[in-house]
Amino acid sequence: MDNRDQAGKFIKGSKVNQGRVPSEDQKRKQSEKMSGRVESDEHKAKIRAGMLASTKVIGRPKGGVPWNKGMKRSNGDPIPVHVYHEMSPEGRERQIKAISGKHFSSETEFKKGMKPWNTGKPCSDETKAKLKGQKRSGEVRLKMSNAKKGKPLSAEHIRKVLTRRTPTSLEKKFQNIVDKNNLPYKFVGDGSFMIERKNPDFINTNGHKIAIEVYARYYKLRHKETVQEWMDEREAIFNKYGWSVIFFDETQVNEKNVVKQLQAA
């Protein structure tokens, strides 16, 4: 049975692979095929362009062309494209009133006794004079923003920021493998352990200076030209203090590969 349309895409409702579980041999072959794979410069450029074009609200910048524009369903009907209209001032006002006075959850709300992040931060007399009795003008906001640009955060500041960080799904998967096989590694990605201004995800608990980085390649490309550039930078800092580092991307976090590499470390 042909489950694809004229464009070669699966027809909605097709159940070709539903419930199919790949064998361990298939998983191993897929993992080996992806491990060490180097994407072409053209592919990397497309990934970066797609990330730059994305937004939290509509998934593309204003005026951007939807990926499915001009495409049709398998029966020939055009695919409807939703148009996001700019919100009117009245609509924005209603939205503000709707959320005014609402509280965050007990885990994330600002509690009594907590100090604002900028408590005790110095402010110039010029800035104070401009802020006194009036809202911050665009000039003042720009000046304060420029003063912070390029300023590296201290290790202590980074540690405080990471304190409330919880393990990602990939890190939880790695932790489950470690626990299942009684491997001497623990999660420290919450800022509890720092090497200079870097915070590894896991470290060895048997006294060996071995750090573990578990990552998804997609997110590393948002800050670096290549994943290798990020790895080299991190490795150089760790090695300076006598630490070795082992990297696992999303295709390498499987029990067989993790156990093999950590037992050989």
- Confidence at residue 55, expressed as pLDDT on a 0 to 100 scale: 46
Residue 178 DSSP symbol: H
End-to-end CA distance of the chain: 50
- DSSP string spanning 78-101? BPP----PPPPHHHHHHHHHHHTT
Task: Please check whether residue 149 is in contact with residue 224, taking contact to mean a CB–CB distance below 8 angstroms.
Answer: no
How confident is the model at residue 57, as a pLDDT? 42
Write down the residue that tokens 């006598």 correspond to.
Answer: 242
**Residue 95 has what pLDDT?**
83
Question: What pLDDT shows up at residue 144?
Answer: 67
Give the pLDDT confidence of 158-172 residue by residue, as tens digits.
Answer: 667 666 678 889 999
Distance from the Cα of residue 224 to its chain's centroid: 13
**What is the structure's pLDDT at 56?**
43
The class (CATH top level) of 161-264 is alpha beta
- Residue 54 pLDDT: 52
**pLDDT at 249 (0 to 100):** 93
To the question of pTM greater than 0.85 for the whole model, the response is: no
Total residue length of the chain: 265
pLDDT of 186 reads 94
Helix, strand, coil in percent for the chain, rounding step 5: 40, 10, 55
Which residues lie closer than 8 Å to 84 by C-beta, 6 or more apart? Answer: 57, 58
Collect the ranges in the chain with pLDDT lower than 70: 1-2, 16, 51-68, 80-85, 103-108, 127-142, 144-151, 153, 155, 157-159, 161-164
**According to the model, what pLDDT value does residue 171 have?**
93
For 203-241, give one letter per residue: b (16+ CB within 10 A) or e.
Answer: bbeeeeebbbbbbebeebbeeeeebeebbeebbeebeee
Delimit the domains of the chain by residue range.
161-264
Which pLDDT score, from 0 to 100, does residue 185 have?
Answer: 96
Q: What is the pLDDT of residue 163?
A: 64
